[in-house]
Amino acid sequence: MGRVTQRRQVLHLDDGVGAQRLDTLAAEEPLEIRLSGTSMAVTMRTPGDDFDLVAGFAWTEGLLTDPDHLSSLRYCAGADEAGRNTYNVIDLVLSDEAPSVDASAARNFYATSSCGVCGKASIDAVTVRSRFDLHADRMSVTPAMLSSLPDKLREAQKVFERTGGLHAAGLFTPDAEMLALREDVGRHNAVDKVVGWALREKRLPLAGTVLMVSGRASFELVQKAYVAGIPVLAAVSAPSSLAAEFAASVGMTLVGFLRGTSMNVYAGADRVALTVPV
């Protein structure tokens, strides 16, 4: 099944009766991210779409500020005990025109698959300023369109179908057409993979789009959507208080508890076209 999933022998219990069987698990491996040879971060991720992940991470963390400054992405030597390349080290090389990254701003950090980037000293340290003005994006969506997104996202999750253990981020048009979908054990990684895809496809900013995520809407996900120019973020679970406050301050529409025809709009309700005005 490849490195995206792994098979493991488990003891399955049903009504007290045990049986040995094979189960399929989502793979989780470390990835070292380098910027022009300098180690910048280690993140735990599901292998797959690694170049998108690194490009998106560099963009949403402010290490890359112009898509044209991305010169190349390449796997570096990273060997296991048998000497085989693990493909767990990637170097993003900047072009000669790219400004140098200030060493004081180049945060070395460890990102887990559960909590995202950890160890930052303050909110100011993670509030990367966006080049794009969300207030100027006047796209609108309907409640019916938003209601269709969770099922579309779920149907496209091929690895989740086998493992039940991956988050997903899907990018949609106002007509609910899926532009991209990425899966990962980390919800923040799934979003970075979508942003990295858009960057490598020269599609930034992602004006007039909706980002649908499978879990909750944290501050970090709102921040990542913001720097990609995404005006609408929808989640099946709740946002945090800081996520809602930040979305409102930057002009983003934030939708949570999107389940069936029910949802809460926590910020930017003017983009949601209601049949009967409130």
Tell me the catalytic residues: 115
For residue 204, give both structure tokens. Answer: 């930034």
112, 104 Cβ separation under 8 angstroms: no
3-state secondary structure the chain: CCCCEEEEEEEEEECCEEEEEEEEEECCEEEEEEECCEEEEEEEECCCCHHHHHHHHHHHCCCCCCHHHEEEEEECCCECCCCCECCCEEEEEECCCCCCCCCCCCCCEEEECCCEECCCCCHHHHCCCCCCCHHHCCCCECHHHHHHHHHHHHHHCHHHHHHCCCEEEEEECCCCCEEEEEEECCHHHHHHHHHHHHHHCCCCCCCCCEEEECCCECHHHHHHHHHCCCCEEEECCCECHHHHHHHHHHCCEEEEEEECCEEEEEECHHHECCCCCC
Single-letter amino acid code for the residue at 244: A
Nearest-angstrom CA–CA distance, 56 and 50: 10
